[in-house]
Structure 1
């Protein structure tokens, strides 16, 4: 099982999602926690993943794993 902390400052929760920015497309991509930590992505806990906000004009793509219920 993968265990990494949330990337947000002073958050000690376990990460559940990985956030990556595609600056050229003004897009934020949020998906399940990646298997490996990447230097240009951010691991987020459930609370921070749900509260994600992006700059005006950007879009958010949320990938979900089929068979997992969202709360």
Structure 2
């Protein structure tokens, strides 16, 4: 495992997405893996990100990365 682990218990896969809940708006926001781990978010592997379900009445917002830009270090 090279990256951050999936937040799901007993999952040994690397995380590829970050999940954040906005309780006031009954919303779950799933996007590309954040640069740093945050204490109030969950890092998920591709399998768990695809299977994400939320309570009835909640909305899921999925942000996708359309491309990857590499920056070289000076």
Q: Same fold (TM over 0.5)?
A: yes
* Equivalent runs, 1:1-71 vs 2, <5 Å: 3-67=3-67
1:19, CA displacement in angstroms? Answer: 0.1
CA displacement, residues 5-48 of structure 1 (integer Å, 9 cap, x when unaligned)? 00000000000000000000000000000000000000000000
Taking structure 2 as the reference length, the TM-score comes to 0.87
Structure 1 spans left out of the alignment, 5+ residues: none
Following TM superposition, by how much is the alpha carbon of 1:3 offset from its aligned partner in structure 2, in angstroms?
1.3
- The CA distance in 1 between the partners of 2:47 and 2:55, in whole Å, is 19
The aligned length equals: 67
TM normalised by structure 1 equals 0.90
Structure 1 or 2, whichever has the larger Rg, is 2
* CA-atom RMSD in angstroms: 1.3
Pairwise CA distance, 1:67: 3.4
